[in-house]
Amino acid sequence: MNSNASSVTPEQPADANVEHSCDVLIIGSGAAGMTLALSLANYCRIILLSKSDCNEGSTRYAQGGIAAVFDERDSIESHVQDTLEAGAYLCDEDVVRFTAQNAKSAMEWLIQHGVPFDQEITGDGENRYHLTREGGHSFRRILHAADATGEALQITLNEAVSQHPNIHIFERYNAIDLVKSEQNDKRCKGVYVWNRKRQQVEVIRSRFITLATGGASKVYQYTSNPDIASGDGIAMAWRAGCRVANMEFNQFHPTCLFHPQANNFLITEALRGEGARLVHADGTPFMEKFDERKDLAPRDIVARAIDYEMKRLGADCMYLDISHKPADFIVKHFPNIYRKCRSLGIDITREAIPVVPAAHYSCGGVMTDMNARTDLDNVYAVGEVAYTGLHGANRMASNSLLECIVFARSAAEHILSRLDETPAEETIAPWDESKVIDSDEEVIIQHNWHELRLFMWDYVGIVRTNKRLERAIRRIKLLEQEISDYYSNFRVSNNLLELRNLVTVAELIVRCAMQRKESRGLHYNLDFPARAEQATPSVLTPMATNLPPQPGDLTSFEH
């Protein structure tokens, strides 16, 4: 590895051109990225890039578990059929079967690395893993670590990664763009990255590159995801010439606490299971208008109902009321929610909780095969950034972390089979900042940032119409031009890089939504309310070009 790789410090001269090299660059430090790093590190040199610190990402906030067939009464076929049904039969059945077949070995790999899944004692006095059952599953097949599986997974893998001598962790780095090879348009020779500590752009040359950057839910005004979920990998791959698919399918959680200091806090659906009611500001229940199951309707129906009432009334939120239950019952059963709301001045034993639906999970992404390969020969994509075909039109609970582990291990196996390849050595030109200046108009970024997330929520959210989609695309094109001009004239920053990626992802979402002439799964269009008899994934293809990607270039699509 280049000697600079582990010795870069903020004290280096600001104009120093820093270059690193490795065998495999992994962009993203969640479950997918860390699993891949650990699966490869005994055989090659790894750089693991993290936009924040290695503990900050969607993996950490996953409360549920990981699906795998451990119960002898369960079967892989049942897991497959449950997934196909949850995905509204838009899943790739071969991919679903591949995932289910490899689920148990993936969980055994995690167990070997020390992930503390809950256990129980059987009637025979033996220990076995405790399995829970979640929505969409026919059997108990969810391995979990209490109600914080993601955190347990993140901590365990992070500890193993930090101790491996062949894994070099670069924290607080933003990937800017993949750098294409001049000799082979289907290969990348490296990546430009922005060192947030030094406030400078650096170069990483790598034989193989993996995008493990997570989803794009930050494109919406309300999201349960951490701030870093800005679609970076999807946008980078698109600019480099990779196809994307099914971007219109974004999963929304129906009840996220509506408060400026709530920090994306989810209100569990278990409240409604214990009698909580969704109401207007005046206390009037409304779910009976939408479903005979009222407040116990499935997640997508509840999310659409709340969204409809907010739009109809012009309201900022709806309310979830459990105050009719005894106070001691509420505090005992929901202590974390009670404490969180109290810290914000809301006493849920006496008043209703303000809630809004929140963007939760991106079912689409960069198209890959079962080895996690993208359209670029040496670029892979793993986890929420990827479209594998597993989730179809809706993700089934506890299949997301599973996808990360299964496909990271598959990618590792494929990369290991190619380590003997010796591509031509190519240099990467240093980042040129000679024609840009420091911005004195940061307010433009903030304004565009808020405008984008607001109209995406209003026009391309839980319920869409043709008119709303057309309005959205017109506004996106205007923003693209402003952002492109800004990107061309000022030095990069975290907010600018994320905004540039978000506006790219926003257009991809809208373009996919405009392709789909039906309502299916997570995509609901009032102009096409019925489900089509036959449907295929929504695929977008960048127009082939030998030119390097340009800021804001989203003008050419092939369908």
Instruction: Just list the catalytic residues.
Output: 299
Residue with tokens 């365990």: 156
Amino acid of residue 465: T
Are the C-beta atoms of 407 and 32 separated by less than 8 Å?
Answer: yes
Are the C-beta atoms of 68 and 141 separated by less than 8 Å?
Answer: yes
Are the C-beta atoms of 267 and 255 separated by less than 8 Å?
Answer: yes
Using the 8-state DSSP alphabet, how is residue 521 labeled? Answer: T
Q: Beta-carbon neighbour count of residue 489 at 10 Å?
A: 12
Amino acid of residue 345: G
Q: Calculate the dihedral angle through the C-alpha atoms of 211, 217, 223, 228, rounding to the nearest 10 degrees.
A: 30
Q: Calculate the dihedral angle through the C-alpha atoms of 252, 253, 259, 263, rounding to the nearest 10 degrees.
A: -90
Burial 432-453 (b: 16+ CB within 10 A, else e): eeeeeeebeeeebbeebbeebb
The CA-atom distances, in angstroms, between 356 and each of 222, 281, 291 are: 8, 13, 19
Burial 121-145 (b: 16+ CB within 10 A, else e): eeeeeeeebbbbebebbebebbbbb
Are the C-beta atoms of 100 and 83 separated by less than 8 Å?
Answer: yes
Q: What is the C-alpha separation between 287 and 356, in angstroms, rounded?
A: 14
